[in-house]
Every structure is written in C-alpha cells, then in structure tokens.
Amino acid sequence: MLSKNKIKFIRSLELKKYRKEENAFLAEGHKLVGDLLGHFRCRLIAGTPEWFKKNPDLRTQETIEVTREELAKASLLKTPQDVLAVFEIPQAETDASVIEHSLCLALDDVQDPGNLGTIIRIADWFGIGHIFCSPGTADVYNPKTVQATMGALARVKLHYCDLKALAGSLPEGTPLFGTFLDGENIYEAPLDGHGLIIMGNEGKGISAEISRLTNRRLLIPNYPQGNATSESLNVAVATAIVCSEFRRRML
C-alpha cells in the first residue's frame, strides 16, 4: 500500500518547485505510463493488481500494488486510472543544429499547460522532433502538460532557452517562420522543409523582440476573407494548421 509520505511525495509533483527539487515528474494512466516506460528512467510505479498482471516485465526502482481507492488518494486526476508512475526528468542538451536540416517549433511564452501538451502531441503527429521554448513557456513536466501529450513526450524533445540567442546562433538565411496578421497567405507562400516555426503567447502572440528576428511572415487566412470572424485562433489549433500545410507541401 501507499504510505502517507509516499502519497505526499507523489502529490507534491504537481508543483514545479518540488519537481525541480526531486528531478521527477508524474504520469497517470496505462497508455501514458506505457508510452513513457523505456524512454524515461522510472522511479516508482503504483498500480492495481490487474495492471501488474498485464505488465509483468518492468524496469523501475520500486513497484507498489494498490487498490483503486488507494490510488485515488495519490492521483491528481478527477477520475483516477489504474496506474501512476514517477519518472526522472532527463538532462537534455540543446542542439540548435537540428534546425538547419529539419523542421522545428519554437514557442514564445505559451503559458497554458494544456496548450503546450497539445502542441507536443501535434508535433509528434507531424514528425517534428524538437521544440524550443522560451523560459516563460509552461513547464513541460507539469502534470497537466504531461497528460495532454498523450505519450508524445516520449518522442518529442523540448529545449528551454533564450529564443533571441537561439535565432542569432543560426546560419544566416535559416528560415524563421512566424504567424502574423500582416503575413503572406500560408497557402500561397513558399515553404521550406527545414527551419523554425515560431508560435506566440495565447493573448499577445509573438513578442515584438522575437517578431523582429523572423524572416518569413505567414498568415492563416479566415474564410470567407473580409468577413467578420473570431479575433484569433487558439495557439494549438493554429500550430496544427501551420504544421499540416508544411507537411502537405513536402509530400
């Protein structure tokens, strides 16, 4: 069974302060835990007897068999599932050279954990393996973000860095795309198979400092053009549209 101290430890990972202190994050649910196993070092798995019967070969420091009622005490979900796991946060190095030969995303202060998790999932779907995040972007290991990735976190690497410095480190002429209201229609603009696609904050869009660094300004047009519509798109929805058009051109 789960001790009070173990429950306290698991629930503390909801806060960034404790995730940083423990160098650990929480994942819940059989699909998410199953996807992350083998990609992140696992410290602890707490699951029902039924879950362990279906998953006999596990690489983890500790396993605890629990009832659903016990699991609910440690879970951060409204509807607890049959397993939760604590994984170590990897120490990843930022390698900007991937931008020179592949398509990557950059997030300029995307602050909603759910949006970030959805964007990671979108990147995974469209074969984008690297996302560069400003320091003001939500923490990828926030439990809400981890859950929203639906396991895509196992395949997409996130790098937190100074986006201005990152852009300045790239070879001259590297495509730096951004979405703006005065940009060129994305369905008519020339697109590249490599470079950096920059997506901005939910309310403010791409910051003025970062927008000055972009050399390819794109517009997602509304339809029919000229009609009054919603003021803007959700950043995750906009990311999906942009990534889809880039990949469609590469077919």
Ranges of residues in the chain with a pLDDT under 70 are: none
Amino acid at 79: T
Q: Compute the distance between CA of residue 11 and CA of residue 18 in angstroms, rounded to an integer.
A: 10
- The pLDDT value recorded for residue 145 is 98
- pTM over cut 0.85: yes
Classify residue 203 by its DSSP letter. Answer: T
The CA-based angle 202-204-206, given to 5 degrees, is 90
Each residue's pLDDT tens digit, 33-77: 999 998 999 999 999 999 999 998 898 999 999 999 999 999 999
- The pLDDT value recorded for residue 142 is 98
- The pLDDT value recorded for residue 52 is 94
Q: Compute the distance between CA of residue 144 and CA of residue 115 in angstroms, rounded to an integer.
A: 10
